[in-house]
Amino acid sequence: MKRVTTKQKKYLKFSSINVKTFFLEKSYLTIFAPQIIQHKMKYKRILLKLSGEALMGDRQYGIDPQRLAEYADEIKQIHDKGLEIAIVIGGGNIFRGVAGASNGMDRVQGDYMGMLATVINGMALQGALEEAGMKTRLQTALKMEAIAEPYIKRRATRHLEKGRIVIFGAGTGNPYFTTDTAAVLRGVEVEADVILKGTRVDGVYTADPEKNPDAIKFDFISFEDVLAKGLNVMDTTAFTLSQENKLPIIVFDMNKVGNLLKVCEGETIGTTVTI
């Protein structure tokens, strides 16, 4: 076979097919290229809601570095596909305002303590994501200039457009509102395509599957049916806000490797709540 000249090389176009044959100077040049299969992402921009308790791993409280690293790996898979990612994380592994109030603490004071817990978790997740090679920004609803940017919608949107992962901390900045409500609110504000609620349960069931083995899982369910059946997806404020803005929610098991990528590719994982 004759040597392919530089001039001839520029006419060769590599593609994802297995074999392509080119006729060059009365000779055949066969190029073997590995088949490249790339799944198209179903969404362009997502808001991922993570529970603070999930960061405990097998611990009784606090943050498990191994779990953080696992989450960072999962998020990196979808980030590398070009998805725009915003994240809201709870603070239940450190402090929960409702629990404090039930023990005699002032509810408002307890909720602000819970907001600070979400910022601690946000900083921990930010460190894990950047260790994995991703660019991030932490924005908080309470001013903490030394460690995070104040939440500004336009700035958050611009970060997302530039491929940075934006973590929203301190909830809505107001007591009596959960991080579920904060997740939906931020999702609506930055115009996310979907709310992905990563939990330790693989979807929405007719009853608690950990207590009732006969509970039936829904693959798809409407907002109206969730309310009619009294199912627990998010708190009422968050759920109503999502319904009014026609923002779908997908509840899935975040602790199963590969689930986050599958959801973003459009596979039926967990339960999808739609209009």
Phi, psi angles (nearest 5°) of residue 38: -125, 120
Residue from 144, 100, 152 nearest 122 by CA: 144
Sorted by sequence, the CB contacts under 8 Å of residue 123 that are 6+ apart come out as 138, 147, 148, 169
The C-alpha atoms of residue 47 and residue 238 are separated, in whole angstroms, by 14
pTM higher than 0.85, yes or no? no
- Give the fold, CATH level 3, of 45-274: Carbamate kinase (3.40.1160)
Phi, psi of 202 (to 5 degrees): -90, 25
Which pLDDT score, from 0 to 100, does residue 209 have?
85
CA dist 124 → 62, 130, 264 (Å): 11, 10, 24
Residue type (1 letter), 210: E
- Determine the residue type at 163: G
**Res 39: pLDDT:** 59
The answer to whether residues 136 and 79 touch, using CB atoms and an 8 Å cutoff, is no
pLDDT the model gives residue 101:
63
Contact (CB, 8 A) for 16 and 33: yes
Looking at residue 109, its amino acid is Q
List the structure tokens of 125. 């997740």
Tell me the pLDDT of the chain (275 aa) as tens digits. 455 555 444 444 444 444 344 334 444 444 444 443 445 889 999 999 999 988 998 888 899 999 999 999 999 999 999 999 999 999 999 987 667 666 778 999 999 999 999 999 999 999 999 999 999 999 999 999 999 999 999 999 999 999 999 999 999 999 999 999 999 999 999 999 999 999 988 999 998 888 888 999 999 999 999 999 989 899 999 999 999 999 999 999 999 999 999 999 999 999 999 98
Element at 108 (helix H, strand E): helix 107-131
Domain ranges in the chain with CATH number 3.40.1160.10:
45-274
- d(CA 39, CA 36) in angstroms, rounded, equals 10
**Tokens in use for 213?**
């083995």
Rg (CA), the chain: 23
C-alpha distance from residue 29 to each of 4, 42, 67, 129 (Å): 9, 38, 50, 44
Count how many residues are written for the chain.
Answer: 275
pLDDT of residue 103: 76
Contact 98, 110 (CB under 8 A): yes
Token code pair at residue 243: 């319904």
From the list 97, 59, 253, 71, the residue with the least C-alpha distance to 179 is: 97
